Amino acid sequence: MIQLLPLGGADEVGASCFYLNIDGTGIILDSGIHPQKKGLDSLPSFEFIEELPVDFVFISHAHQDHIGSLPFLIKKFPHLIIYTTIQTKEIAELTLHNAANILSESTTLWNEGINKNSNFIPYSHEEIDLLISSIRTVEYNEPVDIEGIRHSGSSKIKVEFYDAGHILGSAGILITYGNVKIFYTGDINLSKQKIMDGADLPEDNINILLTETTYGDTDSKMLSNWQNEQKRFAKEANKILNKGGSILIPVFALGKTQEILAAIHSLVAKGSLTDTIIYTGGLGNQISRVYDKNKYIVKRQNKNFEFSEIEQTDLYSVNELNLFNKKSGIVLASSGMMIKGTKSFELMKYWIKQQDFAIFIVGYMDPETPGYRILNLNKGDKIFLNDKDEIIRCEVKRFYFPSHSKREEIVDIVKKLKPEKVVLIHGEEKAKNWVGQQILSLGNNTKLYSAQKGKLIRLQT
């Protein structure tokens, strides 16, 4: 018997969490948090599995929408055995402590959750330390055998991680049980980025595929390729820098910061981009050090390059914002979607008032975020901020440096792995529809499921 119960991240990007019951062994794939939601609403629906066997949790990568609720999950099921890659464990130690800081700082934010339901208890740094030390690590392509305490089948379950090419440590997860192979993509990128080298896939055909569909509703012509987009980036950046303006790039601390920083560094080295001050700081810098530490261990491009070689000024040492008017520079600040209360949101409020400045959007924007609103506005448009309308005086430019597969590449995964059943996850409805249509048009009689939170899928009886 194989059943899948989505607990979160089924038809959206956020709070990814999927429960698999394989003949009595309970496996949880990812335990994310929804970055825009508050309190209990931001967590996957763990209550659905209270009465079910729960033995293992496998984490595909350290982005918050895949790992952020792990401390809450472990509070609820302390006996769970956690597996992930060495790199994800190293990054998680930084990001989960950082999240614990944000939790304790933004008490008002979390109080809303606590008031709504008193079950919501934030976690401490000590709990994170304990959790991290309990994580078991796996190498890519080195399978582990697992079996839950209530396992009723005759064979063990084999789990193997494949490099997903998305960020450092990211993995697609292959679960083999008897002659059934299930592959969970996590967040996957088949194409190269500046640092990441593209995903590996299992060699053999599989039976069941759980695939992300993040870019299912994005025309791939827009996504262009990294090489061309870097040229356009340099051209637009030079226009701003040469007139003395500064550029704000909202980025995720994990992944996007490193990819963009590496791209900027190589453009300056080639003489394509004006040499300027680069501001970074906080969690992004700590994560860059983990990238450096692992440069020979994982598959990546430019193995000899280190982030420590790039001269960077600490963004958190800047007290006077008019410094950016006196001397132009490029600022990489998180959060990536300019969520209220974060550094990039604070800087954006200053940036929009400056004629010669620019905001460069380089990543995915959730429709509910300030980043998404800015992205759809131009110089001269009004934006509602701080309880009033403000005119955007700076330039706003959109670039595409995707860390997820283009939608055709998701279909390529299906063509290569030839699954009999496909479950679409991690995407908006429209995105899942496009991918679903394409899979059906391959004419392979694939059984297609669109995952929905709380809706059980019987994959095998």
Instruction: List residues near Zn ion by CB under 5 A.
Output: 63, 65, 187
The number of CA neighbours under 13 Å toward the Cβ of 153 is 20
CB atoms within 10 A of CB 408: 13
Q: Are 185 and 163 in contact (CB under 8 A)?
A: no
Q: Residue 254 Cβ, how far from Zn ion at the closest point, in Å?
A: 8
Q: Residue 176 Cβ, how far from Zn ion at the closest point, in Å?
A: 24
Residue 25 host element (H or E): strand 25-29
Task: Specify the residue, 21 or 189, whose C-beta has the smaller distance to Zn ion.
Answer: 189
Its sign, for the CA torsion 102, 105, 108, 114, is positive
What span, in angstroms and rounded, lies between the C-alpha atoms of 127 and 130?
5
Structure tokens that stand for 299 in this block: 């598959």
Query: C-alpha 15: how far from its chain's center?
Result: 11
Task: Specify the residue, 65 or 259, whose C-beta has the smaller distance to Zn ion.
Answer: 65
Q: How far separated are the first and last CA of the chain, in Å rounded?
A: 5
- Bond preceding residue 335 cis, omega within 30 of 0: yes
Contacts of 49-52 with CB under 8 Å at 24 or more apart are 49/5, 49/7, 49/19, 52/5, 52/19, 52/21, 52/26
Its sign, for the CA torsion 305, 332, 372, 91, is positive
CB atoms within 10 A of CB 389: 10
Task: Specify the residue, 34 or 181, whose C-beta has the smaller distance to Zn ion.
Answer: 34
Q: Residue 70 Cβ, how far from Zn ion at the closest point, in Å?
A: 14
Task: Specify the residue, 336 or 419, whose C-beta has the smaller distance to Zn ion.
Answer: 336
- Burial annotation 291-311 (CB, 10 A radius, 16+ → b, else e): beebbeebebeeeebebeebe
Q: Residue 344 Cβ, how far from Zn ion at the closest point, in Å?
A: 18
Q: Residue 215 Cβ, how far from Zn ion at the closest point, in Å?
A: 12
Q: Residue 170 Cβ, how far from Zn ion at the closest point, in Å?
A: 7
Task: Specify the residue, 16 or 276, whose C-beta has the smaller distance to Zn ion.
Answer: 16
Task: Specify the residue, 63 or 406, whose C-beta has the smaller distance to Zn ion.
Answer: 63
Sheet-wide strand order for 2-8: 136-138, 81-85, 56-58, 25-29, 17-22, 2-8, 457-460
Q: Residue 286 Cβ, how far from Zn ion at the closest point, in Å?
A: 18
Q: Facing residues of 264 across strands? A: none
Q: Residue 71 Cβ, how far from Zn ion at the closest point, in Å?
A: 18
Task: Specify the residue, 370 or 427, whose C-beta has the smaller distance to Zn ion.
Answer: 427
Q: Residue 90 Cβ, how far from Zn ion at the closest point, in Å?
A: 16
Task: Specify the residue, 63 or 397, whose C-beta has the smaller distance to Zn ion.
Answer: 63
Structure tokens that stand for 70 in this block: 């792990």
Task: Specify the residue, 11 or 187, whose C-beta has the smaller distance to Zn ion.
Answer: 187
Structure tokens that stand for 148 in this block: 């839950």
